[in-house]
């Protein structure tokens, strides 16, 4: 089932929550809506689900308009942020709720509930109530309840936000496995960049109710179309510059070669990610192959040990601050140390 959203606008009084959003979720796709709090992503999901009836634009499923179609008639499965489980019902009874509303025969209902609980790894916990389950298990029950109705479209509203870091990782892998197994068209809303980068087939980034970027995670991370999408998907290190002839850019740290199609003299921002920067002491040798050295020295401002790497903040000429991810080999760069900086030319990109 494919979902088409065209020129969608939603307002709350004088506030425009969505302002002309358009995208297509292909059949069987795991599609993410990503953005900061208040950008309109949950409004978009609730509008698709049918909980917001007043909107401009079009929402279609396999070419059929959803305008005026009640939520319970859309055959969409939804997992809410707080799971919305019935505390007095067992896991099996929670999962069966949607089938009972559809008046599915008892024998088929029982079989489908067992299959759904088995799919999410809860076959042995069918008789437990939500209060007897962990947060991760409750999330699985909510997912099974959405899947058991065999939905045309699965809607996930920040489903992992209430879990700790370890459980989030485990549930990400579970969602990946379940989607691969079921191939249900899925619209997934989150503000977590790591979730989106790890799971999405494609993702849309919203900002202030508008579509800011759309594409595959790797493409958007490496070649973001806007400054906002570049910064929202991860740390960026930027240098202001001006376009020179021959594919070079003049910056406060010397001339840098970077692919672009802008005219000579145009103002430009060259940027890279922290993991694409190499820092070394003045006494060390040359940087790795493919790295472009920057002119002048930088100074280490601070360092934060993060396990397998240390995240440094360095000050470049012109008092430009960068963050650098450096593998930890048992030694650290001292605060105040002068270092040489080089950037992987393959990871450089430009923003107007």
145 and 243 assigned to the same domain: no
108 and 202 assigned to the same domain: yes
Which structural domain range is residue 163 located in?
A: 3-232
CA-CA-CA-CA dihedral for 234, 240, 245, 247, to nearest 10: -10
In the listed set 181, 203, 232, which residue is the last one of a domain according to the structure? 232
Q: pTM to 2 decimals? A: 0.90
**Residue 213 belongs to a domain with what CATH number?**
3.40.50.300
47 and 94 assigned to the same domain: yes
* Contact of 39 with 209, CB cutoff 8 Å: yes
Domain count, the chain: 2
275 and 171 assigned to the same domain: no
213 and 244 assigned to the same domain: no
203 and 245 assigned to the same domain: no
66 and 161 assigned to the same domain: yes
226 and 242 assigned to the same domain: no
274 and 131 assigned to the same domain: no
- Say what the pLDDT of residue 73 is: 92
214 and 341 assigned to the same domain: no
In the listed set 188, 209, 232, which residue is the last one of a domain according to the structure? 232
**Residue 321 belongs to a domain with what CATH number?**
2.40.50.140
- Say what the pLDDT of residue 95 is: 96
- Say what the pLDDT of residue 69 is: 94
| Tens-digit pLDDT string for the chain (352 aa) | 899 999 999 999 999 999 999 999 999 999 999 999 999 999 999 999 999 999 999 999 999 999 999 999 999 999 988 888 999 999 999 999 999 999 999 999 999 999 999 999 998 899 999 999 998 899 999 999 999 999 999 999 998 888 888 888 888 999 999 999 999 999 999 999 999 999 999 999 999 999 999 999 999 998 899 999 999 999 999 999 999 988 889 999 999 998 888 899 999 889 999 999 999 887 777 788 889 999 988 999 999 998 888 999 999 988 899 999 988 776 788 999 999 999 998 898 887 6
93 and 209 assigned to the same domain: yes
- Say what the pLDDT of residue 97 is: 94
68: left (phi over 0), alpha (psi -120 to 50) or beta: left
Q: Which candidate, 35, 46, 47, 53, places its Cα nearest to that of 6?
A: 47
In the listed set 232, 256, 278, which residue is the last one of a domain according to the structure? 232
19 and 94 assigned to the same domain: yes
* Contact of 40 with 209, CB cutoff 8 Å: yes
């Amino acid at each position: 089932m494919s979902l088409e959203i065209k020129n969608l606008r939603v307002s709350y009084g004088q506030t425009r929550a969505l302002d002309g959003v358009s995208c297509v979720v292909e059949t069987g796709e795991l599609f993410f809506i990503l953005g900061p709090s208040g950008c309109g992503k949950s409004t978009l999901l609730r509008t698709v689900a049918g909980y917001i009836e007043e909107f401009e634009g079009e929402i279609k499923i396999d070419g059929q308009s959803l305008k005026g179609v009640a939520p319970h008639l859309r055959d969409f499965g939804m997992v809410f942020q707080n799971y919305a489980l019935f505390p007095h019902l067992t896991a099996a009874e929670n999962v069966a709720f949607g089938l009972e509303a559809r008046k599915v025969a008892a024998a088929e209902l029982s079989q489908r509930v067992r299959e759904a609980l088995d799919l999410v790894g809860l076959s042995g916990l069918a008789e437990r109530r939500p209060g007897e389950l962990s947060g991760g298990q409750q999330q699985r029950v909510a997912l099974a309840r959405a899947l058991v109705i065999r939905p045309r479209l699965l809607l996930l509203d920040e489903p992992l936000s209430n879990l700790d870091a370890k459980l989030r990782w485990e549930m990400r892998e579970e969602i990946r496995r379940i989607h691969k197994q079921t191939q249900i068209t899925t619209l997934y809303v989150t503000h977590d960049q790591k979730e989106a980068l790890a799971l999405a087939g494609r993702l849309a980034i919203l900002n202030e109710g508008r579509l800011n970027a759309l594409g595959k995670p790797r493409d958007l991370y490496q070649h973001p179309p806007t400054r906002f999408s570049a910064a929202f998907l991860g740390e960026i290190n930027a240098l202001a510059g001006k376009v020179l002839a021959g594919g070079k850019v003049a910056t406060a740290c010397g001339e840098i070669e970077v692919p672009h199609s802008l005219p000579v003299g145009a103002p430009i921002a060259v940027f890279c990610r922290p993991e694409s920067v190499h820092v070394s002491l003045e006494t060390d040798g040359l940087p790795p192959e493919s790295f472009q050295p920057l002119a002048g020295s930088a100074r280490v401002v601070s360092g934060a040990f993060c396990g397998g790497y240390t995240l440094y903040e360095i000050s470049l000429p012109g008092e430009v601050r960068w963050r650098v991810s450096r593998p930890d080999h048992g030694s650290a760069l001292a605060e105040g140390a002068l270092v040489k900086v080089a950037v992987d030319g393959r990871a450089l990109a430009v923003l107007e």
